[in-house]
């Protein structure tokens, strides 16, 4: 049984393209960055765009690995009032 999945391609939108903001309901990935690095304390700071007026609950799912091959995953929920 395999515990790892095959890599998937994620679309990283061009935020300069105004068409990106027209149909936000069709997007299921708001932010994708395969090159996030943590600081010496293991922390990383990220930000992503949410359309104005688009309130609700968002699931943040992070996966990564260390230089030595240790795999980690974290999921959390944020509410945009």
Taking all residues of the chain, what is their mean pLDDT, rounded to a whole number?
A: 78
pLDDT tens, residue by residue, 3-16? 666 666 666 666 67
Report pTM: 0.58
Q: Within a 13 Å sphere around the CA of 78, how many CA atoms are in the beta-carbon half?
A: 7
Question: Nearest Cα to 21, choosing from 52, 61, 42?
Answer: 52
Q: Is residue 60 domain-resident?
A: yes
Q: Which domain holds residue 25?
A: 18-36+44-80
Question: Nearest Cα to 22, choosing from 45, 44, 52?
Answer: 52
Q: What is the DSSP letter of 42?
A: S
Q: Is residue 32 domain-resident?
A: yes
Rounded Cα–Cα distance for residues 16 and 31 (Å): 15
- Which two tokens mark 5? 């999945």
What domain count does the chain have? 1
Q: Is residue 4 domain-resident?
A: no
Q: Is residue 71 domain-resident?
A: yes
């Amino acid at each position: 049984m395999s515990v790892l999945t095959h890599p998937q391609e994620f679309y990283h939108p061009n935020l300069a393209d105004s068409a990106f903001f027209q149909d936000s309901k069709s997007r299921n990935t708001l932010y994708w960055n395969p090159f996030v690095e943590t600081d010496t304390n293991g922390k990383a700071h990220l930000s992503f765009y949410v359309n104005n007026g688009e309130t609700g609950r968002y699931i943040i799912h992070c996966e990564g690995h260390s230089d030595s091959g240790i795999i980690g995953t974290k999921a959390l929920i944020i509410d945009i009032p």
